[in-house]
Structure 1
Amino acid sequence: MRFSVRDTVAIVAGALVPFATAAALLPLRASVTHTNLALLLVVVVVAVSALGNRLAGALAAVSAAVWFDFFHTEPYQSFHIQDRADAETAVLLLVVGLIVSQLAARGRTLKRVAVMDASHLERLHGTTRVARASTSSDDVVQQVRQELTEALELRACRFEYGVLTGRPPRLEADGSVTVPGWIWDLERQGWPDGEIELRAVVHGRYQGRFMLTPAAGAVSPPLESRLVAVDLAAQAAAALDDDVVSADRRP
């Protein structure tokens, strides 16, 4: 499984920031109650969770509980807890940290999904508007190329009219990727090397294909983005098919 740069940073922060915070709170150990110190560490857990994913949040919760024990419970600089109240506080810090970290990560996920859905809807509507306003299918193809590049975060995207040469990896209608001779796990392995074929097909008629070039080391886009890419390719195919039908009807 590949992580984005943001998630990687959050995971590192989940391990290190609670340690740094617990150490920075040492001067307050004698004047602030252990409960309040634990609450400050919960704030750190929430911040890490909002930045990253569930793994980062869970790691931050565990790290916060461990370093609270090490720095702020007697005997100090030891992972042994002598006082029962301190032990309960450490356990509650861990439990509460895990709960709020998952809630924060879920909130971030829901927000991301909502923004992504709105963006994808605008891509489809924008392409539809171009198809209605333009008399050339080439305009629709160029619009789809641009939308595919943004939706899939590609380095490049080109269109081949009516050709089927070679056996490149293919983005299928269900959002999966197939590679000849391989069972490809896109979520775990990321994009395959080289260009990836996305066929433009409508009513069973092949019109051409988009050749997708992901950025080097790019994380594969979520399934929703890949399905929108398939729909965009179908819109381009429909525009090209309309041109063929119109040409056939001319006297």
Structure 2
Amino acid sequence: MSGYRIRDLVVLVAALVVPFLVALALVPFRADLSSTNEALILVVAVVAVGAAGTRAAGVVAALSAAAWFDFFLTRPYGQFTISDGADIETAVLLLIVGLVVGQLAVRTRRLEVATVTDAGHLARLEETSRLAEDGPPEEVVEHVRRELIGLLELRGCRFEYGTLLGHLPRLEHDGSLWLRLGDRITEYAEWPEGETELRVIGGGHYYGRYLLDPRPGPLPPEQARLVAVALAGQAGSALSSSAGLDRQG
């Protein structure tokens, strides 16, 4: 199981447990707190879970909060029934507000992650572009190799010059991953076993390929895969420029 799946599972369990623990902690104070204040405290718990997890976790947290509000904090206590009409309204509002606020928290978190990720991708491309302008092509190729390991979270990566041996799954220019064997085409949603190739082309010429050694699990986000293709393209441009200078010399 990948790190991402384990984390999502942990957050989903927290979505069930955290509202329960918060509602249980409020039991000694239920005679002093109004139902509205109790519901607001539970909404905070839903937001905390939503900010750390997925949309599913936000939904589960909202449902859990409404259920344990009913069980622990409304009469008759210890039952999933509500006798007071005002408490029924509060429980319904808790569920609705929890669902809405939880989803907003998830969306906000995703936007923050996307912003940070975009900045990181841009920095990789800019650094590689500067190196490609002045550095020797071998240094650019090595720099891209190291960047690919971090970007795609690989176990390893090597560059193979000018040969095409065997048929390997290929990371394409659009970020998709395919294996073509004659008329048969296989598309992957997870890393296949063994190596995956990322071809390096510059000026219409093939110069080699990066052989990616991935960890088992789902493919990285599409944006990361597209950046990987762009980095390989910069390596191809550096090799193409060097080859052009050699021919002129």
* TM-score above 0.5, yes or no: yes
Give the match for residue 208 of structure 1.
Answer: 208
Q: How many residues align?
A: 245
Contact 2:203 2:240 in 1 (8 A): no
Q: Structure 2: which 5+ residue stretches go unaligned?
A: none
Q: Of 183, 187, 196, which residue of structure 2 is paired with 1:184? A: 187
After superposition, where does 1:15-30 map in structure 2 within 5 Å?
15-30=16-31
> Is 2:8 the counterpart of 1:7?
yes
Amino acid across the alignment from 2:161: Y
Contact 1:15 1:60 in 2 (8 A): yes
TM-score after normalising by structure 2: 0.93
State the shift of 1:131 in Å: 1.2
Amino acid across the alignment from 2:90: T
Q: Check 1:215–1:185 CA distance in 2 against 1; reply closer, same or farther (3 A cut).
A: closer
C-alpha distance in structure 2 between counterparts of 1:228 and 1:59, whole Å: 34
Contact 1:7 1:51 in 2 (8 A): no
Query: Which consecutive segments of 4 or more residues in structure 1 shift more than 4 A?
Result: none
Amino acid across the alignment from 1:240: L
C-alpha distance in structure 1 between counterparts of 2:229 and 2:79, whole Å: 57
Q: Structure 1: which 5+ residue stretches go unaligned?
A: none
State the shift of 1:28 in Å: 1.1
C-alpha distance in structure 2 between counterparts of 1:144 and 1:175, whole Å: 17
**SS of 2:198 mapped into structure 1:** strand
Amino acid across the alignment from 2:54: N
Q: Which moved more, 1:88-97 or 1:204-213?
A: 204-213
> Is 2:121 the counterpart of 1:120?
yes
C-alpha distance in structure 2 between counterparts of 1:161 and 1:94, whole Å: 59
State the shift of 1:185 in Å: 4.4
After superposition, where does 1:158-177 map in structure 2 within 5 Å?
158-177=158-177
C-alpha distance in structure 1 between counterparts of 2:75 and 2:193, whole Å: 55
C-alpha distance in structure 1 between counterparts of 2:229 and 2:91, whole Å: 50
Give the match for residue 232 of structure 2.
Answer: 233
What percentage of aligned pairs have identical amino acids?
A: 52
CA RMSD of aligned residues (A): 1.7
Give the match for residue 92 of structure 1.
Answer: 93
Contact 1:10 1:51 in 2 (8 A): yes
> Is 2:198 the counterpart of 1:195?
no
Give the match for residue 140 of structure 1.
Answer: 140
After superposition, where does 1:26-105 map in structure 2 within 5 Å?
26-105=27-106
